[in-house]
A = this chain, B = another copy of it.
Amino acid sequence: MDERDPRFKVRAAELIAAGHFFFERGWVPATAGNFSARLDGHHMAVTVSGRHKGELTEDDLMVVDLDGNVISEGKRPSAEAFLHIVLYRRFPDLGAVLHTHSVNATVLSKLSPGGLVIEDYEVLKAFPGIDTHQTHLNVPVFANDQDIRQLAARVDELMNREPSIPGYLIEGHGLYTWGQDVAAARRHMEAFEFLFECDMQMRRLRS
């Protein structure tokens, strides 16, 4: 599996389009964020470190295997690639992981470091396994950490207990979400951002 594989090219195009969309919404400022998509049982396409997510080209994506080995010579993946890897290892049918830094995700993670609870919204039905608004979604918030292996271990530990969460926040940093393919992960991103904006507005008007 390398960058010449047609699966790489298709997944890269989907991640490039996701980046354009997220940038227009203001969810990936400067060079923030990183994206990946599964290529096969042991490889992912992932964004190269430090690239602008609103202007990605195929050259800004690369192949990394699920042990963290760089397959695309001469490229360096996002420092947070390991947070993607632990998710692909855990869920064999997981197809994409998207990480953005929106203002709302950042601010809510700082205001609710113990975790967010979102309830009674029709849009909750956008997440897998939810078929009614009469439910609540727990969104964990992890303390930020420049040691990604350590952060990944904390995420992994929580997911052993709560394997069905559709995403999590890192404090002052942003949102991770995922799905069976890039389109599903994008829908989950849109649903989270919508619910975060509703939560922000409710806080302002109820304060």
Contacts and interface: CB of A to CB of B under 8 A. Distances in A.
Q: How many copies does the complex hold?
A: 4
Interface residues of A, number: 45
Given A30-B190, A122-B32, A172-B121, A131 B111 contact: no
B132 A106 contact: no
A29 interface: yes
Interface stretch (A5-13, A60-68, A90-98, A198-206): A198-206
A107 B144 contact: no
Contact of A121 (B25, B106, B131): B106
B103 A122 contact: no
Nearest to A145: B133
Contacts of A174: 122
A1 interface: no
A30 B189 CA distance: 8
B204 A205 contact: yes
Interface in A149-207: 170, 172-174, 183, 187-188, 190-191, 193-194, 197-198, 200-205, 207
